[in-house]
Amino acid sequence: MTVILVMLYVMIALTTLVRLSLMSIKIWLAIVALWGLVAMVITYCISGLTPAEISNLLNMRNVVIGEFIELLIFITWLFSSGGKSRILGIYPGVMICVPIAFLSASSYRVFPGMDFTVIAILTGVSVYVAMIGFIFLCRYFRLHKESLYEISLLNVLVCVSTFGLL
């Protein structure tokens, strides 16, 4: 189950990051900064939650369904044009909050004894830097819409498998 969970989270992150890499630099920088901030806040809030409570929040079933919907949006955007494309193009992907939350929850185990605020900042900065790094990597490799399409299909496969195993 752990492996499936990890794969799901990785695919969610990957898909969203590839999508972001296809946006203009100013936009994705702003979005990534926002996610860094969100990561910080989530990390701080999560300090008061038990793993059971976190699991309830990150209910796998809901995550899979949410990701599926997000993939539909991405794929629809890929094959649309004109106004519809512009509207759907605004959507940057929100399901990346799930792997971020998971990372936040794990960060306390990595830094035991550290002040919670410091852990939150570190996590936020790490997410920010990692996302930027990965997006730059995507742009370096000149990933394009077709890449997003391929990754989305792979992600659909993972989602369907995960859902089936639940």
Partner 1 sequence: MSRAGKIVVCVGAALAAICVAWAIYAYWFSPTRILIVNPLPAQEAEIVLNNDSRSIKVKCQSMETATDFDHYDAVLMYGRGLYLDSLQLESLDKAARKGIPIFTNTLRNFSFVVTHNLDSLQIEMLQLYFSNPCRTNYRNMLRYVRHIATPQRIGDQDYSEPLAMPSNMYYHLEAGKYFDKADQLTAYLKKKGLYSPSGRNIAFVSGVNFPVENNRAHIDTLVSRLTEEGYNVYPLTATGKARAKMIKEVNPQAIIYLPMGRLGNDSLINWAYDKQIPLFMPYPLIQSREEWLDVNNPMGGGTLNARIVVPEIDGGMTPLCISTQDASSEGYLLYTPDPERMNAFIEQFDRFMKLRDTSASEKRIAIGYFKSPGKDALLASGMEVVPSLYNFLKRLEKEGYNVSGLPLTLEEFRQQLMAYGSVMGSYAPSAQEKFMDYTNPIWIDKSDYERWAKETLLPHKYAEVEERYGKAPGSLLARGDSLAIAAIRYGNILLFPQPRPALGNDEFKLVHGAEVAPPHSYIAPYLYMQKEFDADVLIHFGTHGNLEFTPGKNAGLSQADWAEVLVGNRPHFYFYTTGNVGESIIAKRRSHAVIVTYLTPPYVESGLRQKYAVLIERLHQAIVDPTKNTSDLKQEIIGYGLHKDLDFDSVGTGIYSQDELKKIDAFVEELVNEKITGSYYTMGQPYSPKDMLTTVIAITADELAYSRAKEEYEKDRISKEELQDFTFISHHYLPEAKRDLTKLLTGQASCNTVNNEKALQVKALLTESAGAEIDAMVNALKGVPVRPAPGGDPVLNPNVLPMGRNMYSINAEATPGEKAWENGVALAEQTLTTYREKHGEYPKKVSYTFWAGEFISSQGATVAQALRMLGVEPIRDEQGRVMDLRLIPSEQLGRPRINVHVQVSGQLRDIAGSRLKMITDAVKLASTASDDIYPNYVAEGSLEQEKRMVEKGESPKRARELSTMRVFGPVNSGYSTGMLGYTESSGEWDNRNELAEGYFNNMCAMYGDEDNWGVMNRDALEAGVAGTDIIIQPRQSNTWGPISLDHVYEFTGALSLAATVVSGKEPDAVMADYRNTYLPRLQDTKEAVAVETRATILNPEFIKERMKGGATTAQMFGEIFRNIFGWSATRPGVLNENIYDDLHDIYVEDMYDLGVKEYFERVNPAALQEMTATMLESARKGFWKPSDEQLATTSKLHSEITANHGAPCTEFVCGNKKLQNYIARHLNKESAERYNKDMAAAVSESSGARVLKEESRSLLSPTSENTASIYVVLSVIIFLAFLVIGLWLKKRKDKI
Cβ of residue 37: shortest distance to partner 1, in angstroms? 20
**Of 73 and 139, which CB lies nearer to partner 1 in the complex structure?**
139
Whose Cβ is closer to partner 1: residue 2's or residue 81's? 2
Residue 95 and residue 76: Cα distance in Å, rounded? 17
Least distance from partner 1 to the Cβ atom of residue 88, Å: 25
3-19 in b/e form (b: 16+ CB < 10 A) is eeeeebbebbbbbbbbb
In eight-state DSSP terms, residue 84 is H
Interacting residue ranges for partner 1, rule: CB under 8 A: 1-2, 5-6, 9-10, 14, 46-56, 58, 102-103, 105-106, 108-110, 112-113, 116, 134, 137, 141-143
Shortest distance in whole angstroms from residue 89 CB to partner 1: 23
For the record, the structure tokens of 48 come out as 């008061």
Helix, strand or coil, per DSSP, at residue 136 = helix
Taking the least distance from each CB to partner 1, the nearer of 82 and 140 is: 140
What token pair was written down for 72? 């539909």
Q: Token pair 């752990």 is at which residue? A: 2
The residue among 48 and 164 lying less far from partner 1, judged by its C-beta, is 48
Query: With contact defined as beta carbons under 8 Å apart, do 158 and 8 qualify?
Result: yes
Q: How far is the CB of 84 from partner 1 (least distance, A)?
A: 29
